[in-house]
Structure 1
Amino acid sequence: MKEFTQIKENCLYIKDLQKAKKFYHHTLGLEIIHHEEEKHIFFRVGSSVLLCFNPEDSKLKTSPPAHYAEGNQHFAFEVNQAEYENVKNKVQKLGITIIDTIVWKGGEESFYFHDPENNVLEVVPTGVWS
């Protein structure tokens, strides 16, 4: 639908929400906007929200409908093109290992790293999908 303007939420399924809190809030600095122990933790990312659900809890829900996933999930953080190298350096200084770097058709570079649950996170500069 043309009326859709963006993906407002992205969801990861994470069994250890305390590790998620430490990584996403304390290490990456994302603001916590809601947290229920053993159930879920939500983070603000710019104008979007990163939802981290405990899959053992969320697959039993009736409202909102049950949902869960297994295995390594993926999403990308977007940064201003002028800040890309700075963010890459900050990630490395935090002791986070960059596991891959790709140069896309348009010449833009993105890099990948893991969170504590082994999900594959990416940082892309604005313009990658333009």
Structure 2
Amino acid sequence: MTSDDLPNAAPSPGVLEAAVYASDLDAAESFYGGVLALEKISRVGDRHVFFRVGPGVLLVFNPDETVKPPGNPDMPVPPHGSRGEGHVCLAMPGEALDDWRRRLGAAGVEIEADFIWPNGARSIYVRDPGNNSVELAEPRLWAG
């Protein structure tokens, strides 16, 4: 079934938020807020820290905390979580990627890969403190 098969189908949704999981939120906050210079929206103890990414939000959850049932009946978010390495890709203009490579190197972040895709878009891959794969890529990577 496709959206064309549904009566009065709504417009295609966008990504409002994406999540990665990291047990050490202090290290994750230093990486995303310090090294990647993302704007921190909020942090709740050792449960999560959230960052603004363009019009969306990157959620960094501690998997040991998010599997617990909600303690606030006014915010009944179901328990959730993930174990293992995840992936998030942040859109970066191509002309900024060399500067980002230098910034990451200066922060001691190892570059896992830096290459050009068949469509000409460039991606740089690094690991965050939770061992998630973080990609910085030109938005044209997914151009139609």
Give unpaired runs (5+ residues) of structure 1.
Answer: none
SS at match of 1:128: helix
Q: How does 1:1-40 map to 2 (within 5 A)?
A: 3-40=11-48
Q: How big is the shift at 1:107?
A: 1.7
Q: How big is the shift at 1:110?
A: 0.6
TM-score (norm: length of structure 1): 0.90
Aligned to 1:61: 69
The question of whether the paired residues in 1 share the 8 Å contact of 2:22 and 2:129 is answered with no
Aligned CA RMSD, in angstroms, stands at 1.6
Give unpaired runs (5+ residues) of structure 2.
Answer: 4-9, 71-75
Structure ranking higher in strand proportion: 1
Task: Give 1 or 2 for the bigger CA radius of gyration.
Answer: 2
Q: How big is the shift at 1:6?
A: 1.9
TM-score (norm: length of structure 2): 0.82
Aligned to 2:6: none
Number of residue pairs matched?
Answer: 130
SS at match of 1:21: helix
Cα distance in 2 between the residues matched to 1:40 and 1:26: 16
Cα distance in 1 between the residues matched to 2:69 and 2:53: 25
Cα distance in 2 between the residues matched to 1:6 and 1:84: 25
The one-letter amino acid of 1:100's match is: A
Q: Identify the match of residue 57 of structure 2 among 41, 49, 57.
A: 49
CA deviation profile, 1:22-77 (whole Å, cap 9, x unmatched): 11112221111111111111011111111011111111234211110001110111
CA deviation profile, 1:58-98 (whole Å, cap 9, x unmatched): 11234211110001110111012332222223222222110
- What is the percent sequence identity of the aligned residues? 30
Where does structure 1 differ by over 4 angstroms across 4 or more consecutive aligned residues?
none
Q: How big is the shift at 1:115?
A: 0.7
Q: Does 1:85 align with 2:98?
A: yes
Aligned to 1:129: 142
The one-letter amino acid of 1:57's match is: E
Aligned to 1:96: 109
Q: How big is the shift at 1:7?
A: 0.8
